[in-house]
Amino acid sequence: MNTKKCETCGWEAPPGYPADTCSYCGVQFGVRLNKNKRFYEKSKRVAQQRYEDWIELVDGAFTHTLTEEEWLRACDYFDGCALCGSENISTRHYFIPFKAGGKYTEYNIIPVCEECTLTLKRAKNPFKYMDKELIKFTDGSRQQRLERLKNIEEFLRSNI
């Protein structure tokens, strides 16, 4: 019997394994995805570096609690949800989560709709997570997702 081995992660399927894809990485047997894997690893490193740079930038920033005027300015700037553009804003969402040290300030709060709130509650690194999740809210173009994230980052940066 011929053994199936994943070219990407090296997993060997047990004899009689019925699927044509690796159970660990989901790649079809016989297909090598090193180029995509390198791209994924690089984008992960870039997101982590952006996150660390952001934390360093806001760590020493002057802190005061978000005022209603600052909140309204954020809502006007994004004209709805900062992620998907929906006109319905249901919450004030932390860019850097509170558990990760995020503060309730004008450089860390963005307007978000209910659907995006539920999606982003798991985010530990917004630069990594938002880029991945913005696929759902655009036509799938990576450039558009990055532009949306850049727009959020520019607004928050302008308030530091």
pTM of the model: 0.61
State residue 59 phi and psi, 5-degree precision. -60, -40
Between CA 71 and CA 6, with CA 129 as vertex, the angle to 5 degrees is 170
Q: What is the mean pLDDT of each run of 10 residues along the chain (160 residues)?
A: 71 79 70 63 79 80 84 89 84 84 86 82 69 53 66 79
The answer to whether the CB of 74 falls within 8 A of the CB of 110 is yes
Q: How many CA atoms lie within 13 A of 135 on its CB side?
A: 4
**Number of CB atoms found within 10 A of residue 41's CB:** 10
pLDDT the model gives residue 71:
92
pLDDT the model gives residue 69:
92
